[in-house]
Structure 1
């Protein structure tokens, strides 16, 4: 939200008292400010440390642009209130508007529904009509320059780009505007910019609002510019109701783009009394409203949401007159200074992606999950949902317990799944031991395959609420959950070993590879989960690495020598393949395939269709599988030998890539998981949790039951599962255990 002013910083600019910081960019800073006896404003000033040649020509241009911006009026624009072009550091003050930026909203709430996008577009088109009527061009229309309020969008920073144009263009490597939302004629040179250029940017904004991505998003700036210049817009994810109109806005020929007023008429619905914002966006409005209260004068009303009764005034005398509601404050990420936003240093583009949240596993209920898998959700991202820490989801009568592995658990294979109140764990032959999750008592055992396991891969079993699918290097079995009755078994062909298994939507996918030293091939099979009937098989001319990932009609797997392959879930045909990067394993999140490896830093974002790397988030090397979930926070456990405490947790905002925090890990974790707003880490007979906001004071630590305290050193928890605030795990000393995680 708002940030305190740093020590020694200025406390006044012109007649305005600075109250807090809002944001900063390459050329300017934005402050929350207020004039004596006045309302809140956003005050934007050139950075004092910049050695800019603010000559008379610049000040004349700045003064002219301020005069033009003052002429802009309309319900969807933010008024320019004041400014001084003659000050040592020129500044201007604009009206505060209620709510977050569109960029922040989409990053936090996901893409907007179609009716909200239509209403948004109609409002912005009307704003452009007002801007162009004043003979002003916006020149930097982008999601960060659109603020949202319950009454609709508000366009900010119009007309100021040109004032800073000459100064910006004298600085090497900078463009006026924001690549990804610039019109092709804007890239060619500012002399070619016309009102239709703003319409092009509006089309790109509507694509971003509807999908979470801009139409020209690409990790390489040169590719963004090339795609814009060629008209290569990706509108495949735009809802069909909007696709044609957005495509018209993005036409290469400015003369063929619709006029703003015509666009507003085509987008507007009959009922415009209330904007159809989804509930998550309305919650953001309330959050921003509460931030404003601290800085409002004591005799001011706190603004209310539409339809709410007026909130009681703060310390208002009985005789205080009725006042016009003041605009709300916006958070640092929402307000964008004209003096900073219009100058874009050439760098990697925005990272927002469309998000269709991972579906709940089969059998999930509103209060808990009937199936808890090692990987968390179907994207294998470690997200377990609220049932992991919600005490009401814990099996009735549960108490902490610890017991030895015996009778069928040979230690050559590891992995468990929790289905309802039954913990099912496998050994190296695929033999299963089912335990009562409440007490650790035996429920049933099922035999595995004859013969010696070829490897000790950690391939956990999976379940659908009725059956458990138990892998080993020798094959896979389908076992009834209730009694452990074998329903089918499929051994791998001679000379191969099973290396991966995953379940999705009634289908079981497996990978079988020839051991090292032989020609590198892998057979991927799809089987009907209920019967084991083979649906298809495909031979890949490489060994696989990590697990199979099935999502959105595609099965993905990393390849041992580097690269990733994608197969159709319908027939197993190869749909895409790349030779790089090297991936230790894959995850699926935020409309992307995520690739990570212990040998390189960060997590790569792969296009799910082409497998091309779009960007890499983070820089540290993962020690164990990283996690990212519903909160869109990526956490990587890593080692930093230069730090006082070498083992670390480093968190990044997935959509923006921003580093959020870095905390000591209190030992080397063996596995990570997420439960909405909390990281859960397993280690040496301990579970500790870290809030995803990085609040170190609210870290919790729990010791899991054990019987031999003399063996604590080197004894680790592996393949942990979480339900109802409890953990269920195996240990390297040969035990099954369950204890409190919180």
Structure 2
């Protein structure tokens, strides 16, 4: 493709054909300092090449600042930025080539699709906090973080454009005559003391960016940069429309004094409290269309002032998904229903199955995202946004389907012999018959912040800290009281374990209080305080297993086994910390996967790590194991099988991205292991099954 003409005149009217050795194919965007082109290297690699405007190329001071930008961009981690491939700050037209990152800018996304949903906002804020942490670690201050400098990539937001000033025709200038930011996203100190700007200015900008993403405008809004400057320095920000769960964090970011703002590390720690599941979430915001339902809005800022919340991060629930804290008001009336049944699938008797199992696959609705499935009652029940459906596990034939408007697409739960759909903050709970899909009971409850299933009990935790246990089979209340020592209890449960666990970590991360509760009665079975910031990951025999995470960065540093019968705790350090760990337990072996793709096995009896494998799967699913093989799913729909004894990759299925490859699930669902079969799902809407015993044949 020939280079496109710029809209300007004069020396910029015809753009160059090459920057160094790189052929410029088309214009990606144009800013005050230059033009960004899509280019290709000799080998065909896609690049984004920034070419400086000719007028600035003649300015020695500007060339110096461009050299500074190149140096800064080279310093920061490529995980959160566009990695620099090549640059020439001494060329007639200085240029810099970075890896091309597919995805819109945040400003473009908001302009086209409107404000982001609360879940998207949480992922955006977490990604930007991670990016600023890495940028600040190498001594770089961005100073111009704004929506047009944030790219929404598949694996998270990327920050671009380091240290570049705006042109001289800007109305607001520093002592050198160059603007050091963009007024609506500048911190007060950038106007008051521009030579003393530090990392906290980027945190202020992050707060302004979040308001823009949530509302389409900034916290300080005016057509005049002078008015904006006054508002930034003197006025309180306008956070109308920012979700209540994020508003307190945004307010802290927008503090007038740098020392009153949180650091990126503190932000990440707080965000784990806002949404315990964000750690494993990939980031591609869904395009807003009529066919794609979205979660309802969170309460506005005004409501958050009436109902302040404080959350602490916890490990995601196995099989149920942790949704937050809940209300302890008495649950509403129970209605036993049978009239609003599912859409039947004619011509199939669910009791008939083929004599021998063969691999199968079936495709659901790709536009509704990756299905999430659970196995129970000899049925595979799956969910997508707004729908729940059942498949015959022997051949994949659909048995029934239901429209459940509140279904968020999370993994449904088998509890009390019924299917419990994962609902999206709905106050209407319902349980479905696994054989027919008909509603067995429905219950309306006051608004809540979270649910957890443990055995045949639904645990609802209230904003006042009390917990209500509900019989999953009937929807009737069993008990309601507080759990001593835990202000906002978050429960974790594991298949086959009669207990549920709630943990609270001390403010300094030095210790964790662990309480084991009988879910059917609410009675405390044991209570202990253990060393470190611990997250429960599984149980085996009479022991509970935890990962010990760094209180600042959330990296897994060790695996801990606690046996309540004798009070013995055993800790095994990991040779290399794992970021955003997910784990599974079998016997005394713990298998962990990090967000970067590292899969490790830890033998708690031998007190050592047995093996480690780099899978190259970024942000994959939690692992599952039958003792012979360890399996996990990749974001592109692959299922990987690894030898549990030595960590060798034995086989994998093909990718199944489909036509909607620009959309990914919030989290990659773990495969389901049942009856020597594996059931997995993919972004193209496919549900498929393979024998668990021979990964090499997949």
TM-score, normalising length from structure 1?
A: 0.35
TM-score, normalising length from structure 2?
A: 0.38
